[in-house]
Amino acid sequence: MDKSTFIRQFHTDGFVVVPALFAADEIEVIKTRYTELNQQGYGFEGDSRLIMSNADPLAAFPRIIHAHRFDALTLNWLLDARLREWTTALLGEEPYAAQTMFYFKPPGARGQALHQDQRSLGVRPGTCLAAWMAVDAADEENGCMQVVPGTHDLPELCLIDADTSISFTDKSVPIPPGKHPVPVIMNAGDVLFFNGQAIHGSYPNISQERFRRSLIAHYIVGEAEKVHQFYHPVLNFAGQEVTLLHSDMGGPCGIFEENNGENELVMVERQSQVWVAD
Ligand SMILES: O=C(O)CCC(=O)C(=O)O
């Protein structure tokens, strides 16, 4: 496929997978580094309320957020020329880099309820773009990504409670009537790109011994003026800090309502101010 086919698919579905963007030896280096970071006790503190007990597989393997702020390997990956080229091609303008996350998703771990990343990043104006790189092969058994095609033009939807028996986060969004999540099967080194409105998440890892590790970056469009304070400082691809304002995350959100047998998207006043790192 040439690049224009990937770009078309991204604009039609809201997501696209670029296969083998990173090589096996690069993936091995990343695995080794994150094993070290895990052994050194790194893990996102803000998730502790979401981890159920010491028996929760995520207790020993919490996700690591913003490692690019202290780890050179992660910073180099976030600003890698291949990610610069693809994010720019998909968005039509070079974005800024806002975040990294590493998920170990060990055997037995819960997934992450369906959500939209814009809800966390609050990019104004514009949106964000995720680059989700498989560090292990990912399929339905070990809890691959699930994306709902054609949801990338929706506004931010109002939050609903998630089922915390299958999700480590406790908030979700409704799936638009008639639409369904599809599993995204990937090999290590493939990168899935999706925009900030696309509904996505994952189900539990039901394998006995397969981890489903992933390294994730979030970028924000170049015309953005504001982003939630958690993502400051934002960087350009030269690694320089960019001055943006803090987003207040306000404004209405969408719900689906039945009206004369038709489902309509209705914008209402936002009730929940819950913020979840993403
Ligand atoms: O990796 C997962 O299971 C979910 C990741 C996700 O939702 C995200 O990157 O925003």
Please state, in angstroms and rounded to a whole number, the distance separating the CA atoms of residues 102 and 251.
30
Please state, in angstroms and rounded to a whole number, the distance separating the CA atoms of residues 190 and 91.
19
At residue 173, does pLDDT exceed 90?
A: yes
Task: For ligand 1, say whether the CB of 202 is within 6 Å of any of its atoms.
Answer: yes
**What mean pLDDT is predicted for residues 176-182?**
96
Kindly state the DSSP code that residue 201 receives in the 8-state scheme.
E
CA neighbor of 112 nearest in space, from 88, 132, 135: 132
* Alpha carbon of 258 to ligand 1 centroid (Å): 30
Looking at residue 273, its pLDDT comes to 67
Looking at residue 43, its pLDDT comes to 93
Task: For ligand 1, say whether the CB of 214 is within 6 Å of any of its atoms.
Answer: yes
Q: Which helix (H) or strand (E) holds 78?
A: helix 72-78
Task: For ligand 1, say whether the CB of 136 is within 6 Å of any of its atoms.
Answer: no
At residue 94, does pLDDT exceed 70?
A: yes
% of the chain at pLDDT higher than 90: 87
At residue 27, does pLDDT exceed 80?
A: yes
Please state, in angstroms and rounded to a whole number, the distance separating the CA atoms of residues 220 and 131.
11
pLDDT tens across 128-148, in order?
999 999 999 999 999 999 999
Question: Residue 200 CA: which ligand 1 atom is closest?
Answer: 7
At residue 270, does pLDDT exceed 90?
A: no
At residue 271, does pLDDT exceed 80?
A: no
**What mean pLDDT is predicted for residues 99-104?**
98
**What mean pLDDT is predicted for residues 249-255?**
89
Question: Residue 103 CA: which ligand 1 atom is closest?
Answer: 1
Residue 139 class from Cβ within 10 Å (0-12 exposed, 13-18 middle, 19+ buried)?
middle
**What mean pLDDT is predicted for residues 222-241?**
96
Task: For ligand 1, say whether the CB of 100 is within 6 Å of any of its atoms.
Answer: no
Task: For ligand 1, say whether the CB of 231 is within 6 Å of any of its atoms.
Answer: no
Mean pLDDT score of the chain, rounded to an integer? 95
Task: For ligand 1, say whether the CB of 213 is within 6 Å of any of its atoms.
Answer: no
**What mean pLDDT is predicted for residues 267-271?**
88
Q: Which residue has the tokens 């986060």?
A: 169
Q: Model confidence at 261, in pLDDT bands (50, 70, 90)?
A: confident
Task: For ligand 1, say whether the CB of 130 is within 6 Å of any of its atoms.
Answer: yes
Go through the domains of the chain in sequence order and give each one's CATH number.
Answer: 3-268 (2.60.120.620)
Q: Which residue has the higher pLDDT, 156 or 50?
A: 156
Looking at residue 240, its pLDDT comes to 98
pLDDT tens across 48-90, in order?
877 778 889 999 999 999 999 999 999 999 999 999 999 999 9
Residue to substitute in 47, 191, 200, 203 for testing ligand 1 pocket (most ligand atoms within 8 angstroms of CB)? 200
Q: Which residue has the higher pLDDT, 55 or 277?
A: 55
Q: Model confidence at 276, in pLDDT bands (50, 70, 90)?
A: confident
* Alpha carbon of 197 to ligand 1 centroid (Å): 13
Looking at residue 83, its pLDDT comes to 98
What lies within 8 Å, CB to CB, of 117 at 6+ separation is 128, 130, 196, 200, 218, 278
Instruction: Please state whether the peptide bond connecting residue 204 to the residue before it is cis, i.e. omega within 30 degrees of 0.
Output: no
Q: Model confidence at 249, in pLDDT bands (50, 70, 90)?
A: confident
Question: Residue 278 CA: which ligand 1 atom is closest?
Answer: 10
Minimum CA distance residue for ligand 1 atom 3 = 202
Cβ(108)–Cβ(204) under 8 Å? Answer: yes
Q: How many CB atoms lie within 10 A of CB 230?
A: 18
Q: Model confidence at 274, in pLDDT bands (50, 70, 90)?
A: confident
Please state, in angstroms and rounded to a whole number, the distance separating the CA atoms of residues 14 and 40.
37
Looking at residue 135, its pLDDT comes to 98
Task: For ligand 1, say whether the CB of 184 is within 6 Å of any of its atoms.
Answer: no
Residue type present at position 201 = G
